[in-house]
């Protein structure tokens, strides 16, 4: 009887944890799909979450740079509209996923992560 009760309690605890963990609400798309969005949408931000040095070497035209490491629990002045479409990328896709998770936790509701500039086939520029 004790084993049955223990298993029942353990099952409830695991179910409770799974229900409360929640899934992220950002979308993931390919670079090609992001390029299509940039052609069809008007009010969006392209967010490069690499370091400032990486950004200066090469970035997508019009992108703003907010390094992933600087995104925390504070409001982000460069991103005042939490409902605006924000297209997030980095070098290979790892930091852009991390940054997208952080942005969702900060209350941003229209985050689209599209991987890394390594796979970007569109135009790039260097400098600021």
C-alpha torsion angle, residues 118, 123, 126, 128 (rounded to 10): -110
The catalytic site residues sit at: 90
Question: 52 and 64 in contact (C-beta within 8 Å)?
Answer: no
Q: What are phi and psi of 40, to 5 degrees?
A: -100, -30
């Amino acid at each position: 009887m004790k084993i049955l009760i223990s298993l029942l309690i353990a099952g409830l605890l695991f179910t409770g944890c799974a229900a409360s963990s929640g899934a992220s609400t950002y979308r993931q798309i390919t670079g090609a799909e992001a390029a299509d969005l940039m052609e069809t949408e008007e009010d969006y931000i392209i967010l490069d979450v690499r370091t400032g040095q990486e950004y200066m070497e090469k970035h997508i035209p019009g992108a703003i740079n907010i390094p992933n490491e600087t995104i925390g629990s504070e409001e982000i002045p460069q991103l005042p509209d939490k409902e605006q479409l924000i297209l997030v990328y980095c070098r290979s896709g790892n930091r852009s996923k991390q940054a997208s998770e952080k942005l969702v936790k900060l209350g941003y509701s229209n985050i689209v992560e599209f991987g890394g500039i390594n796979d970007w086939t569109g135009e790039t520029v260097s400098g600021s």
